[in-house]
Amino acid sequence: MSDSIESGVPQRRSLYPPIEPYNNGILKVSDTHTLYWEQSGNPDGHPVVFLHGGPGGGTSPNNRRFFDPEFYRIVLFDQRGAGKSTPHACLEENTTWDLVNDIEKLREHLKIPEWQVFGGSWGSTLALTYSQFHPDKVTGLVLRGIFLIRKKEIDWFYEGGAAAIYPDAWEEFRDLIPENERGSLVDAYHKRLNSDDLETQYAAARAWTKWEMMTAHLLPNDGNIQKAEDDKFSLAFARIENHYFVNKAFFTSDSHLLDNIDKIRHIKTTIVQGRYDVVCPMMSAWDLHKAWPEADLKIVGDAGHSANEPGIAAELVVANEKMKAFVG
């Protein structure tokens, strides 16, 4: 059984220096959708695929920096409707199962036999789902900010739980919705994010995105919060997230991911979790740890949700360093 260890603040690893992709492209995955993908690092290195959050968040150049570029062949891609993938913010043919199939299509397109999978927040949800369907293609897992997409997690963040910690930010999020529609804010936002009026969509998207960005760090991060003002980013982020949450990630059971842990129990895995994560509270990482004690759980004692917080970033880099011995 692997122990859960809470890390403090002494000497922390930094992210690797910025790098540029050595190639990139567009992969058509359906009659509707195309995906942007890129590769960086060592073309002959061990492949690792980065699964971004949201869903709808897209990738960024900083995502390449969690991995040793001399050891890893680093694959990033934007999921359906996100980032540079097209059509932008599209909800058609956009389900968890579509994304799982896309990961396989990309692996095959890049002629990669198997790869390490890395994902945080929604990326952890997708990483677990993909691995449970294709365990033979996964050499190792590094997960962060565990999100099992259960009703109690959605209710915690969008129906008043996190409001106890961020009442100021919560009121701004809540007050976009009239009092008579506040029985389910997720449903009320769904109506507006899918309105025929584009400005109604944008207003809802900005409010939805700002709520998450204001709560994603232990200490406020102005750069992150300002993302909400980028209408292109926030529309994809909010519409796609909300679409998945309304549809319960298209799972048939609230406990789908925990129920299928036996399929991946043998895979070397590290879970990194911020103690004060408000977006994906530690109860989910703990539930996963209890169901899967073989996985290493690293609790960062001075961090919230974001992968860019110093303690989280450091543990992710260390996890990838340790993974080299198992996947190389």
Q: Provide the 3-class DSSP secondary structure of residue 2.
A: coil
Cα torsion angle, 29, 104, 237, 96, sign = positive
Cβ 234 vs Cβ 208: under 8 Å: yes
Is the alpha carbon torsion for 128, 36, 314, 53 positive or negative?
negative
The domain locations on the chain are 4-150+251-327, 158-248
pLDDT tens digit sequence for 41-56: 999 999 999 999 999 9
Residue among 52, 217, 243, 305 flagged as catalytic: 305
Q: What angle do CA 327, 268, 122 make, to 5 degrees?
A: 105
- The C-alpha atoms of residue 30 and residue 323 are separated, in whole angstroms, by 34
Q: Over the stretch 198-252, which tens digit does the pLDDT of each residue have?
A: 999 999 999 999 999 999 999 989 988 999 999 999 999 999 999 999 999 999 9
Residue 328 pLDDT: 73
197 is catalytic: no
Q: Is the pLDDT of residue 157 over 90?
A: yes
On the 0-12 / 13-18 / 19+ scale of CB atoms within 10 A, 166 is: middle
For residue 4, is pLDDT > 80?
no
> Which residue in 145, 91, 119, 82 sits closest to 285, CA to CA?
145
- At 80-129, the pLDDT tens digits run 999 999 999 999 999 999 999 999 999 999 999 999 999 999 999 999 99
Cα(210)–Cα(215) distance, integer angstroms? 9
Choose, from 277, 289, 296, 306, the residue flagged as catalytic: 277
The single residue of 7, 40, 85, 121 carrying the catalytic annotation is 121
- Cα-only R_g, the chain: 19
Nearest alpha carbon to residue 240 among 284, 188, 189, 176:
189
- 89 close to 56: Cβ distance less than 8 angstroms: yes
Measure the CA–CA gap between 199 and 315, rounded to whole angstroms: 41
Q: Is 305 a catalytic residue?
A: yes
CATH of region 4-150+251-327: 3.40.50.1820
Closest to 272 in 3D by CA, of 301, 247, 233, 243: 301
Residue 12: pLDDT band with limits 50, 70, 90: confident
121 catalytic residue (yes or no): yes
Give the pLDDT score at 8.
Answer: 56
Average pLDDT, the chain: 97
What pLDDT score does 1 carry?
A: 45
pLDDT at residue 9 tops 60? no
